């Protein structure tokens, strides 16, 4: 069963952990199991663990636990300070690794679980009256990157006021718990193009009954993107990638041929985001 990971260094994460314990009956394990000096909590077979490290640096969770999915409940920080409920997987597309992980390394993306999480965040937003919060996918970024176990981040953004928001914490707690209980399997795709916050991929994931998006390669890394990273994004997706979805209008002209050539070499089908609806 999945393991939910929280951090003492993350105000939103601490508040989400409190809600998980209050809402879903997580209890301290009676066998004395600990992680990073914290007691481990459980609700049925689902474990809730806490770290003294920032979540982007929690590559060590895999050494302590074997599971099929790590779900990181986290804060999201942005200069715009917009309220947000966000989902993404992790990795570093280039030589830069400013927020954990290693350069040119991607975690394993659980596309179906992320689709379920995004849907549940949207549902929770409506049910809990979080009208000012935007539900969105982000492109693949930051650490951890070296785990062989699939992982995903579910976040509250984007400043201290929102990280302290009890209702937003409830929305994320409900989402990570639902995903931990089990998910359906969807058609997995790789997203390429567009901005860091991925509105077109978010729209597809929320509206399509069958399509899930795993890794997303944003426009801003394409200038220095190595061809091997596209192949790695496909290999480092939990489900078999059946389709590449292109945010065509979000791709610069000089990048379009480069991307098309790589897709052809890999023998994959591609479709533009605005064409998804036409596919039925």
Alpha-carbon span 83 to 163, nearest angstrom: 9
pLDDT, residue 254, reads: 84
Residue 116 — very low, low, confident or very high, per pLDDT cuts 50/70/90?
very high
Instruction: Assess whether pLDDT exceeds 80 at residue 165.
Output: yes
pLDDT, residue 204, reads: 96
User: How large a percentage of the chain has pLDDT more than 70?
Assistant: 99
Cα-flanking dihedrals φ and ψ of residue 56, to 5°?
A: -70, -15
The DSSP bridge pattern shows strands 27-28 and 105-106 to be unpaired
Instruction: Assess whether pLDDT exceeds 70 at residue 149.
Output: yes
Alpha-carbon span 206 to 202, nearest angstrom: 6
CA distances from 181 to 24, 177, 202, 229 (A): 11, 6, 23, 32
pLDDT, residue 252, reads: 85
> Which secondary-structure segment (H or E) carries 111?
helix 111-128
Tokens of 28: 């301290």
pLDDT, residue 64, reads: 96
- 28 - beta bridge partners? 41
Q: For the CA atoms of the chain, what is the radius of gyration?
A: 18
Instruction: Assess whether pLDDT exceeds 90 at residue 280.
Output: no
Tokens of 263: 């897709």
Residue 278 — very low, low, confident or very high, per pLDDT cuts 50/70/90?
low
Q: What is the pTM of this model?
A: 0.97
Instruction: Assess whether pLDDT exceeds 90 at residue 133.
Output: yes
**Domain enclosing residue 42, as ranges:** 3-279
Residues 192-203 have pLDDT tens digits of 999 999 999 999
Instruction: Assess whether pLDDT exceeds 70 at residue 279.
Output: no
- 153 - beta bridge partners? 72, 88
In this structure, what CATH number is given to the domain that contains residue 33?
Answer: 3.40.630.50
Residue 79 — very low, low, confident or very high, per pLDDT cuts 50/70/90?
confident
Q: How many residues belong to the chain?
A: 280
pLDDT, residue 192, reads: 97
């Amino acid at each position: 069963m999945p393991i939910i990971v929280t951090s003492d260094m993350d105000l939103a994460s601490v508040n989400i952990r409190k809600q998980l314990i209050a809402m879903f009956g997580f209890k301290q394990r009676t066998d004395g199991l600990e992680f990073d000096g914290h007691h481990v909590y459980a609700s049925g077979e689902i474990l809730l663990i806490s770290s003294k490290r920032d979540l982007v640096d929690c590559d060590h969770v895999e050494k302590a636990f074997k599971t099929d999915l790590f779900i990181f409940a986290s804060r999201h920080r942005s200069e715009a300070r917009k309220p947000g409920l966000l989902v993404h997987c992790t990795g570093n597309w280039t030589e830069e690794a400013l927020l954990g992980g290693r350069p040119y390394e991607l975690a394993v993306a659980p596309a179906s679980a992320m689709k379920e999480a995004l849907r549940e965040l949207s549902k929770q937003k409506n049910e809990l009256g979080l009208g000012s919060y935007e539900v969105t996918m982000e492109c693949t970024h930051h650490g951890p990157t070296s785990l062989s176990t699939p992982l995903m981040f579910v976040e509250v953004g984007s400043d201290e006021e929102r990280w302290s928001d009890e209702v937003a914490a409830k929305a994320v707690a409900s989402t990570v718990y639902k995903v931990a209980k089990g998910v359906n399997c969807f058609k997995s795709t790789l997203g390429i193009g567009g901005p860091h916050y991925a509105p077109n991929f978010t729209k597809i994931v929320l509206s399509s009954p069958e399509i899930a998006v795993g890794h997303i390669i944003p426009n801003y890394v394409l200038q220095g993107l190595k061809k091997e990273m596209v192949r790695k994004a496909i290999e480092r997706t939990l489900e078999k990638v059946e389709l590449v979805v292109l945010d065509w209008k979000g791709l610069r002209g000089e990048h379009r041929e480069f991307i098309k050539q790589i897709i052809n070499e890999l023998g994959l089908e591609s479709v533009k985001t605005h064409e998804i609806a036409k596919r039925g």
